[in-house]
Amino acid sequence: MSKIELPENALKVAETAEVEQISISRHPSGAWAIIVVHDTTLGPALGGCRLRKYPTLALATRDAIGLAEGMTFKSALADLPLGGGKAVLLEDRNLVDGRVELFQWFAERVNEFGGRYVTAEDMGTRVSDIEVVKERCQHVTGVDSKNGGGGDPSPWTALGVFQGMRASLERVYGSDDFSGRTVAIQGVGNVGRFLLDHLSKAGARVVVADTRKTELEELGRKYEFQVASVDEILTMECDILSPCAVSHVLSEELIPKLRCRIIAGAANTQLEARSVEKDIAAKNVLYAPDFAINSGGVILCADEREEGGYLESRVRERVLRIYETTKKVFEQADSSNMLPGEAALFLAKQKIENAKSK
Ligand code: NAD
């Protein structure tokens, strides 16, 4: 491949990143692929491929680096033999034509990492895209259940978040009984709808908000819940607030308005900045760190790589363990005077350091 002149800002971001490996390539259509391997101490760097329009290549690169780092800590805390990586496809057209060609080309870029990076589905990509990648590249997880994979990771992510909620309820109220507790869910998409199912079965009162009215109407035919507006949901009076839509919802502006006792949701990178966690604690709100409780999906992806392939019972057992992991995070926070997010990071880093010293 010929060498590409990178825009100066993107080059600066890539040059200063604390990652093992990063590649930025350009497709003839003008699309960019950024692949980041953050850390492979515990195993190959697994992380999905995101397809998005970003304002600049530098922002896309920064996002890919942050997400790859997040994957390292998520997998480490879940005790998976995986490191952290991520890919971003930056595409400024609406991909109607050329989608298959783009993913075939992306498969070649993944191959260049020789197995150090393993890709999967993520925001903006579909299982069908991953199937295209799989035709040319073996470093792929999250394939269709028809092709021996575990299929949709969302039900497992929801089950894990539910376990994190149980551990959080126990810590705040001394019992993981959901009856009489109110849970406010922001976003009932792939994960939120399965969470709604668990919560309904456990007897919780559920309030939901979603920007898509059709989702709410469809779910309303199956479950009983109250609907709040998108503007109200984050500041509702409730026991658990569960962000299951977008990143960075826990902002400096929102925190003074919170009226919940617990935050436990599926969304990645919920904290606008790590520094806001102390403001959450100062409001006497318990934050269950996102990457500690939303690892159900990556647990499923990791399972496909086990000898003999995906086994549902093994995935279930590992996802249920998120309850214990969340409790361990809270205990670590207590014993070392840390905030839960800091404690989760500490435990994840400790696993990586222990592996390095072996
Ligand atoms: P999704 O796109 O299927 O669902 C998100 C839902 O949120 C949609 O229904 C959307 O309409 C709604 N929404 C968007 N903005 C909103 C707003 N401001 N207020 C209320 N609703 C809003 O996504 P998903 O797969 O359910 O994932 C949800 C979150 O969890 C994402 O942040 C994702 O990165 C994270 N996550 C998902 C998985 C997984 O297995 N799918 C795993 C780990 C983390």
Task: Look up the pTM and report it.
Answer: 0.93
Binding site membership of 289 for ligand 1 (Cβ less than 6 Å)? no
Q: Residue of the nearest CA to atom 35 in ligand 1? A: 267
* 221: three-class secondary structure by DSSP: coil
* 26: three-class secondary structure by DSSP: strand
Binding site membership of 267 for ligand 1 (Cβ less than 6 Å)? yes
- Give me the pLDDT at residue 239, please: 98
39 strand-pairing partners: 84
| Candidate from 157, 271, 303 with most ligand 1 atoms within 8 A of CB, to mutate | 157
Binding site membership of 297 for ligand 1 (Cβ less than 6 Å)? yes
CA of 99 to the centre of ligand 1 (A): 23
- Tokens coding 356: 């390095």
CA–CA separation, 113 and 47 (whole Å): 13
Domain limits, the chain: 8-75+82-147, 154-294+324-350
Tens-place pLDDT, residues 168-202:
999 999 999 999 999 999 999 999 999 999 999 99
Buried b (16+ CB within 10 A) or exposed e, 55-84: eebbbbbbbbbbbbbbbbbbbbbbebebbb
Tens-place pLDDT, residues 314-337:
999 999 999 999 999 999 999 999
Beta carbons of 78 and 315 less than 8 angstroms apart: no
Binding site membership of 91 for ligand 1 (Cβ less than 6 Å)? no
**Of 3, 12, 74, 86, catalytic:** 86
pLDDT averaged over 10-residue windows placed end to end, the chain, 358 residues = 73 90 93 97 96 91 94 98 96 78 97 97 88 95 78 93 98 98 96 97 98 94 97 98 95 98 96 95 98 97 91 97 98 98 98 93
Does 154-294+324-350 match 8-75+82-147 at the fold level?
Answer: yes
From the candidate CATH numbers 3.40.50.970, 3.40.640.10, 3.40.50.720, 3.40.50.10810, the one assigned to the domain spanning 154-294+324-350: 3.40.50.720
- Give me the pLDDT at residue 72, please: 98
Tens-place pLDDT, residues 63-77:
999 999 999 999 999
- Give me the pLDDT at residue 142, please: 80
347 strand-pairing partners: none
Residue type, 115: G
CA of 287 to the centre of ligand 1 (A): 19
Task: List all residues 6 or more positions away from 321 whose beta carbon is below 8 Å from its beta carbon.
Answer: 79, 163
- Tokens coding 248: 């960075």
* 63: three-class secondary structure by DSSP: helix
Architecture of domain 8-75+82-147: 3-Layer(aba) Sandwich (3.40)
CA–CA separation, 24 and 15 (whole Å): 12
Supply the DSSP symbol for 250: B
The atom number, within ligand 1, closest to the CA of 247 reads 32
Q: φ, ψ for residue 25 (rounded to 5)? A: -130, 155
- Give me the pLDDT at residue 95, please: 65
